[in-house]
Structure 1
């Protein structure tokens, strides 16, 4: 990064909530989350210079666009500020974060508010699946299937099995770890869920097939929710630290990023990588870009990771692309305890998308917030001991958009 970008604070909603059942909607999410984020960051709304909003499908789920204006309607103290909405499927939140960082690094603004929202539980599961399917190539892939995204990620599992071999036990164990982590997170959607024996096995009764080889606990949830972070450049952060008594060497910074986009059709991406080491080379490139910009050598320099596991196969693939395992060997890192709390690299201590939840437009923002809390020791019951460097990996579509960040405590480059 050209200049450090500080994560001064943030907030998220309880991802277990069903907002439409409460008679609430997108504006209420903004009205709850933004003031909470500003309060956590100890920043007044008059100090914010710019707003970035992330959301995938407000027009479909809520019949609402122009969310840049809605956040100001919800929080009148922000009236008059520039506000822009970002959409990159499930990576919408991360692209909003990167846009805010770019404006801070350029010197255009000193303080940016980034807020992601998604309302999805106000329609049936089938309708929600169809709406979310618009982030694939509508009319060209996932045709004649009930659930587009489980079907597409099942296709990824088939290709993974063809190239490397795939044991469903590895997927089941990944899910079991995720739900176990989520049970310690007071904001996770599934924190109170019970899982009968066989829930993570090839058990057709309690863990039925959804699409292809992917079963019930291989698939993420439909989630309502919002998350927000307050970002600042060094000049404001120094004044903020003097005012609040904070030690900037103990605060979180976004130290590096990677952002790459591949072609839209899954089949085209898989064909392009047929002779390459990695299933999705552009994802590997985005992660390597984040490492390089953060001044670290790779996965060995990390203490914790928040990765995109909307499906278990996605989590397995991403473990390989961040360098924790060689291509085709992600299952070994799952089974040997590497990704568990206390393991070589704790992955998704929050529960990840599988358990914490996946309100699409909020997910990338939530990841940065969780990473910032981990490296500052503020992650509560799912804190990783002595975490100083965290990785986030957020994807959109069938690995079409890939965004990665490295979040560190302070600005010193690690040795």
Structure 2
């Protein structure tokens, strides 16, 4: 039998903080903040951690610093010889780091694993940040005349959805509105205190970026880190007896990767039931491993909304009719299936390498009743969906409570 993997605790930094203004070593400072707080939240000693994994996209470009696994070991004397590694899968880097850690626990190599994700992106101007982030597209093959790789690619996805099935701009507007509303209840969300107009079609209040993508449709440049502490059954049982707490458990997972280029993926799915068949496969694999039939057995979802169209497409691939779910209110806070109670990437923020870890942390908080003001009442099963690049690398997790 495969070893189950439990989530004992976790943390994220305040995604509103501009870390270059607060620290001379912002990358290390973010890691220290998230990791130290996660260990305290989990009530786990640093010496108990047997292995660690770091998710990050582009620290080399933004800071000149690589080898982040070794940087992590500088945070505690107990980690002077800790086995670590760094994982890159565009915006899905954090989730891939999670999968690597779970595999080590499942194999019985270690009892406890630390997973953290981090990204520093506000230390450069917006145009330079956009250029750096373009490294996750197909460099040399995909061109961006406006110098904005990701708004351009996701506008192309919106065009494709419109051509195939039709797309109502008001549905994208409502997605932005819901995520920003949710973020107001999240004390660590990047936009929690923002008062800008997020849904207007006014060019001054909500300016166009590329095509139908306006400012409110786009996730913003964010600094931040997140961390979770994972454990196998034996350690988790001893931990439960010691702390009196019940951990969350990762019930299922799915992981697939399509072509690096967007047009390759769109061409390959002509005539298919789904725009991105590999994305649907990752989700159904997560459902199957978790022993659930589909979204009707979920209580909440933390999904990738780097753009409003990303959430729209994600809903469809999760088996949820996006337009209908938006219209009937089921995905809003207080609805039948709340989506992104944290505020998601648009509301809470998107420090690229940290996002997948943050999603798992929030899902675990939900199912253990520790999500504070963002808590979905009675949540027992929560899915995550983390997307890297133009829906190239995709990872879905199903997180639940521990029975028995």
Residue 274 of structure 1 aligns with which residue? 270
Partner of 1:384: 376
Name the structure 2 match of 1:397. 389
Residue 411 of structure 1 deviates from its aligned partner by 4.3
The residue correspondences of 1:313-392 to structure 2 (distance < 5 A) are 313-325=309-321, 330-392=322-384
Q: Are the equivalent residues in 1 in contact too, given 2:224–2:351 (CA < 8 A)?
A: yes
State the alpha-carbon separation in 1 of the partners of residues 48 and 73 from structure 2.
14
Gaps of 5+ in 1: none
Report runs of 4+ in structure 1 exceeding 4 Å deviation: none
Question: What residue is the counterpart of 1:47 in the other structure?
Answer: 48
Q: Deviations over 1:28-63 (max 9, x none)?
A: 112222111111101101111000011000000010
Deviation string 1:177-198 (CA, Å, 9 cap, x unpaired) is 00000011000000001133xx
Matched with 2:33 is 32
Report which stretch shifted further, 91-100 or 202-211. Answer: 202-211
- 141-150 or 160-169, which deviates more: 141-150
Tell whether the 8 Å contact from 2:183 to 2:348 is kept in structure 1 after alignment.
yes
Partner of 2:95: 94
**Distance in 2, Cα, partners of 1:244 & 1:187:** 26
Q: Shift of residue 89 of structure 1?
A: 0.2
Counterpart in the other structure of 1:58: 59
Whole-Å separation in 1 of the counterparts to 2:375 and 2:138 = 39
Shift of 1:94: 0.2
1:254-265 correspondence to structure 2 within 5 Å: 254-265=250-261
Q: How does 1:285-324 map to 2 (within 5 A)?
A: 285-324=281-320
Query: Hey, what does 1:175 align to over in structure 2?
Result: 176
State the SS of the aligned residue for 2:174. Answer: helix
1:356-415 residue CA offsets vs partner (Å, 9 max, x unmatched): 000000000000000000001111101000000000000000000010000001146xxx
Please, what TM-score do these two structures have when normalized by structure 1? Answer: 0.95
CA–CA distance in structure 1, aligned partners of residues 76 and 122 of structure 2: 24
CA RMSD of aligned residues (A): 1.1
Give matches, 1:225-244, under 5 Å. Answer: 225-244=224-243
Task: Tell me, yes or no, if structure 1 residue 207 matches structure 2 residue 201.
Answer: no
**Residue aligning to 1:8:** 8
Deviation at 1:274, TM superposition (A): 1.0
Q: Deviations over 1:95-124 (max 9, x none)?
A: 000110010011010000001010000000
Q: Is there any run of 5+ residues in structure 2 with no aligned partner, and where?
A: none
Structure 2 Cα separation of the partners of residues 60 and 152 of structure 1: 21
Q: Matched residues in 1 for 2:204 and 2:38: separation? A: 43
CA distance in structure 1 between the partners assigned to 2:313 and 2:200 by the alignment: 19
Residue pair 2:10, 2:226 contacting (<8 A) in 1 also:
yes
Write the distance in 2 (CA, Å) between the matches of 1:200 and 1:16. Answer: 21
SS at match of 1:30: helix
SS in structure 1 at match of 2:306: coil
- For residues 142 and 170 of structure 1, the distance between their equivalents in structure 2, rounded to whole angstroms, comes to 28
Cα distance per residue 1:219-262 (max 9 Å; x no partner): 0010000000000000111111222222x3xx200010000000
Contact 1:171 1:331 in 2 (8 A): no
Q: How far apart in 2 are the matches of 1:4 and 1:344?
A: 29
Instruction: Name the SS for the 2:96 alignment partner.
Output: helix
Alignment: residue pair count? 403
Work out whether residues 337 and 343 of structure 1, in 8 Å CA contact, stay in contact via their aligned partners in 2.
yes
Shift of 1:213: 1.1
Aligned counterparts of 1:143 and 1:151: Cα–Cα separation in 2: 7
Where in structure 2 are the equivalents of 1:127-206 lying within 5 Å?
A: 127-196=128-197, 199-206=198-205
In 2: Cα distance, 1:44 partner to 1:23 partner: 26
Q: Secondary structure at the match of 1:195?
A: coil
Distance in 1 separating the partners of 2:176 and 2:33: 31
Give the CA deviation at 1:3. 2.4
SS at match of 2:18: coil
Distance in 2 (CA, whole Å) between partners of 1:2 and 1:220 is: 37
